[in-house]
Amino acid sequence: MANATTAQNGFLEHLRRDVLVVMQSLFNLDEDEHALLSEVKLGVLRSNATQRHGATRWQRQSDGSLDLQVVDLHPALLVVEWRAYALFVLFHEFLHVVGHRAHDATFRDLERRWPDQTAAQQGKAFTHARRLARARWHWVCPTCEQRYPRQRRGSGRYLCKACKTVLVDVPVKDIQ
Ligand SMILES: [Zn+2]
Ligand SMILES: [Zn+2]
């Protein structure tokens, strides 16, 4: 977890408001759920995360119970271009907050009720964008020219997903 800036907090609060409106209409939230979602602290993940886009954190109390701490979103989601996906990620985390802890079949059913299913499918694109932004190497396929942006060398250990050729490391500084 990192500290959110004032601008990030403002963005997060607008997302919260919009997600709450949709969840209210989908699930007819009860008073407790509404209070929980209105009051949970929102924050940002460390910006070097690529695969993790949101997180709901709980802390175990001395009596063994779990206390809700914070819902974190990836800081790179807090821009206009990714806003639709950010709403979906916050919705996903809010399902955890109201008690659906596991990604089980029930959870996936609830998730599919999010009205913007196009945005719901943007996880891979966001991961790809994060990897591009952080990449120091491109693992390049000499056969089909597919590129895989990564922070580390592949050192001949990885195959092209498309054609199974061994990928070659090219430093990003040689590409730009
Ligand atoms: Zn989850
Ligand atoms: Zn290939």
Assigned domain for 74 exists: yes
Question: Does 176 score more than 80 pLDDT?
Answer: no
Digit-coded pLDDT (tens) for 3-48? 889 999 999 999 999 999 999 999 999 999 999 999 999 999 987 7
End-to-end CA distance of the chain: 32
Q: How far is the CA of 160 from the centre of ligand 2 (A)?
A: 5
- Domains in the chain: how many in total? 2
Digit-coded pLDDT (tens) for 137-162? 999 999 999 999 999 999 999 999 99
Q: Are residues 11 and 91 in the same domain?
A: yes
The pLDDT confidence band at residue 123, using thresholds 50, 70 and 90, is very high
Q: Are residues 121 and 139 in the same domain?
A: no
Distance CA 72, CA 84 (A): 16
Q: How far is the CA of 102 from the centre of ligand 1 (A)?
A: 7
The domain of 154 spans 135-174
Run of H or E including 47? none
Assigned domain for 100 exists: yes
Assigned domain for 121 exists: yes
Write the single-letter amino acid at 138.
H
Q: How far is the CA of 95 from the centre of ligand 1 (A)?
A: 8
Q: Are residues 106 and 155 in the same domain?
A: no
Question: Does 2 score more than 90 pLDDT?
Answer: no
Reduce the secondary structure of 67-132 to three states and give it as a string: EEEEEEECHHHCCHHHHHHHHHHHHHHHHHHCCCCCCCHHHHHHHCCCCCHHHHCCHHHHHHHHHH
Q: How far is the CA of 141 from the centre of ligand 2 (A)?
A: 5
Q: Are residues 33 and 106 in the same domain?
A: yes
Select the more confidently predicted residue: 43 or 175.
Answer: 43
Q: Are 51 and 6 in contact (CB under 8 A)?
A: no
Q: Are residues 147 and 121 in the same domain?
A: no
Q: How far is the CA of 117 from the centre of ligand 2 (A)?
A: 30
CATH number, domain at 46? 3.30.2010
Assigned domain for 98 exists: yes
Closest ligand to 163 CA? 2
Assigned domain for 1 exists: no
Q: Are residues 77 and 95 in the same domain?
A: yes
Closest ligand to 55 CA? 1
Closest ligand to 139 CA? 2
Residue 137 CB-density burial (10 A; 0-12 exposed, 13-18 middle, 19+ buried): buried
Closest ligand to 145 CA? 2
Q: Are residues 104 and 24 in the same domain?
A: yes
